[in-house]
Amino acid sequence: MDKGIIMWGLFLAVFAAGMLISRRIKNSIIQNGIETYAVVSRIVDDGTQSDIDMNVYVTFTAEDGKEIEAILSNPRRDLKEGQQVRIKYHPKYRNNARLV
């Protein structure tokens, strides 16, 4: 069998697994997440001039008192560093949060 076909199949399998895990985390946060306030701690542009790829991070205090920095999985373009937002996070996946 051609190595290119095998590599392509492996890539697709890894990509599909990543999408399933991401969806599971999202659903867990939506269904069983804890709501709290957070502050936008940083906004990172990982894109190029022609391709904007913004990652927005928030800092919040979890139920156990630990300060956590998490990436927002559903950021809005109008967010600014230092802005307070309402989020939802899952205790098991605290490094991922969603805007409420």
Q: Could you tell me the two tokens for 33?
A: 């997440």
Q: Sorting pLDDT into bands at 50, 70 and 90, what band is 49?
A: low
Q: What is the mean pLDDT of the chain?
A: 86
Q: Which range has the worst mean pLDDT, 12-16, 31-35, 39-43, 61-65?
A: 12-16
Q: Sorting pLDDT into bands at 50, 70 and 90, what band is 16?
A: confident
Residue 50 reports pLDDT greater than 70: no
What confidence tens digit (pLDDT) does each residue in 78-94 have?
A: 999 999 999 999 898 89
Give the Cβ contact number of residue 76 at 10 Å: 9
Degrees to nearest 5, angle at CA 15 with 31 and 10: 145
Of residues 55 and 27, which shows the higher confidence score? 55
CA 11, CA 86: separation in Å to the nearest integer? 36
Q: Which fold has domain 3-99?
A: OB fold (Dihydrolipoamide Acetyltransferase, E2P) (2.40.50)
Half-sphere exposure of 60 (CA within 13 A, CB side): 29
The residues spanned by each domain of the chain are 3-99
What confidence tens digit (pLDDT) does each residue in 19-44 have?
A: 777 777 777 777 888 999 999 999 99
